[in-house]
Structure 1
């Protein structure tokens, strides 16, 4: 990162945009907003003097959120790359104790890191503005997923919880998976949550779980090494493509207890049997 002197980050949070030219400036907003589903991070190079003057004239100074997306126009930042971010120290995958040879380098930024993907698609500002604004929170949701297997492989269950954008619990989901491994159960939990979110009309989604394997494979950062994983990953990717905006991130186990509880309840269900609890009064 030290060599990328002309790099800058464009961070969208709801309808507000911040531009950061130093890692230190970026740290605080990521620490405070890592679990905010409206947060999107893009990376660009060579911020022009004209762009800096334009942003300054609209009140954006010292990396403070004070410019609205409606004040931005295409070509202001040139080419931008999407930066999938996650919390650091989340390198442990409970579903696999093996070291993965295809780990990728990361740009570590404060309390988040960005996966370096050489095949990442570039986008202009019009793509950047397609993320969910605050006014679309009614169509935005957070899905937490997990899987459990007693024996690995053994009797398994999948679980997911669906929350509104502000974190309020809406649905608890669990499904019987039959005899399966932890990895299969984790994928089934993610697929369960994605399908249910689509069935309820959500357009913007942030999905998270403590399976690093699922999160990295769905992002295309890790390869699938078995036919079973390939098929499940394909289903998950087909579902994610049906959302207007999609984010997936890996979290530690302690932040995934609700989904874990549902997955353990799913162990007692028949393969394919789904139970749903609604928390809306």
Structure 2
């Protein structure tokens, strides 16, 4: 798994190119460019000192758009992955009528997919840095999961959201868990998302949630000391082994709001009852 501290983002806006070292650095340009079709975003790891010096010599400093795309060498960025941004589209925004970009986590604006790029494109020029159609991501999926328990233990629900690799939401899932702890509900949310992704034929998976316990145990980095948690972890590991590629990471709670909303809706369902909402983008 690539180290996020070495991540960088290449942003092309028309004929100009900017490079950013962290998601937070992207905030201003992406929030002002959500509906701009000329903007595309790509993610890479380990920007070389030579590349930084080259960019600086051509006028690019502090991520200001001042280098022309025609000046970008073929091998400047190495391997990069499509990291398209999207317009946040939550039911909460629709109800309140608030600006959906206002005070929203930036990870809701830029996708965080890290799936392998076609090796033939590894050293392609920025001419190819245009966001591919969603259909090219048909086998890749981002799963966001969460769990909720009112009382811990108490009435509990599990939630999951499935997105295509470009960040477009396609499924919202929620399940009633009965009376359970928050940790059990979190595991049930992850398992709910994994099962549905398999059912829909996804092969390459990135899973993220705000339960560090689930993320670390599924990776085998933390031990499972409680029997029911060990059983849930075993189920999750058996599911993950059925995918061609699998990645799981912990995110902060404010980056997991949609899955959290589904988990809280799941509290009101009967134990084992599952509801699915489909939100497949129109062609």
TM-score by length of 1: 0.57
CA–CA separation in structure 2 for the residues paired with 1:225 and 1:39: 38
Q: Which aligned segments of 4 or more residues in structure 1 are displaced greater than 6 angstroms? A: 38-42
Q: Assess, with a 3 A threshold, how the Cα gap between structure 1 residues 220 and 262 changes in structure 2: closer, same or farther.
A: same
Q: Assess, with a 3 A threshold, how the Cα gap between structure 1 residues 67 and 276 changes in structure 2: closer, same or farther.
A: closer
**Deviation (angstroms), 1:224:** 0.5
Matches within 5 A, 1:132-143: 132-133=116-117, 137-143=137-143
Q: For structure 1, which runs of at least 5 residues remain unmatched after alignment?
A: 1-9, 12-19, 43-57, 70-130
Of 8, 15, 22, the match for 1:28: 8
CA–CA separation in structure 1 for the residues paired with 2:181 and 2:160: 17
CA–CA separation in structure 1 for the residues paired with 2:184 and 2:79: 44
Q: Assess, with a 3 A threshold, how the Cα gap between structure 1 residues 259 and 67 changes in structure 2: closer, same or farther.
A: closer
2:212 maps to which residue?
Answer: 212
CA–CA separation in structure 2 for the residues paired with 1:165 and 1:68: 14
CA–CA separation in structure 2 for the residues paired with 1:40 and 1:236: 29
Matches within 5 A, 1:71-110: none
1:65 maps to which residue?
Answer: 77
Matches within 5 A, 1:230-245: 230-245=230-245
Matches within 5 A, 1:109-148: 132-133=116-117, 137-148=137-148
**Contact persistence 1:59–1:67 (CA under 8 A):** no
**Deviation (angstroms), 1:65:** 2.0
CA–CA separation in structure 1 for the residues paired with 2:183 and 2:80: 42
Q: Assess, with a 3 A threshold, how the Cα gap between structure 1 residues 68 and 275 changes in structure 2: closer, same or farther.
A: closer
CA–CA separation in structure 1 for the residues paired with 2:45 and 2:270: 41
User: Cα RMSD between the aligned structures?
Assistant: 3.0
1:203 maps to which residue?
Answer: 203
**Contact persistence 1:147–1:263 (CA under 8 A):** yes
**Contact persistence 1:143–1:207 (CA under 8 A):** yes
Residue deviations 1:62-113 (CA, integer Å, cap 9, x gap): xx324699xxxxxxxxxxxxxxxxxxxxxxxxxxxxxxxxxxxxxxxxxxxx
**Contact persistence 1:158–1:177 (CA under 8 A):** yes
2:176 maps to which residue?
Answer: 176
CA–CA separation in structure 2 for the residues paired with 1:165 and 1:179: 34
**Deviation (angstroms), 1:255:** 0.5
**Contact persistence 2:8–2:43 (CA under 8 A):** no
Q: For structure 2, which runs of at least 5 residues remain unmatched after alignment?
A: 10-20, 25-41, 47-72, 82-114, 119-131
Aligned partner of residue 234 in structure 2, secondary structure = helix
**Deviation (angstroms), 1:138:** 1.4
Q: Assess, with a 3 A threshold, how the Cα gap between structure 1 residues 220 and 198 changes in structure 2: closer, same or farther.
A: same
**Paired residue total:** 178
TM-score by length of 2: 0.57
**Contact persistence 1:132–1:204 (CA under 8 A):** no
CA–CA separation in structure 2 for the residues paired with 1:68 and 1:142: 18
**Deviation (angstroms), 1:254:** 0.5
**Contact persistence 1:175–1:275 (CA under 8 A):** yes
1:267 maps to which residue?
Answer: 267
CA–CA separation in structure 1 for the residues paired with 2:258 and 2:80: 35
**Contact persistence 1:149–1:155 (CA under 8 A):** yes
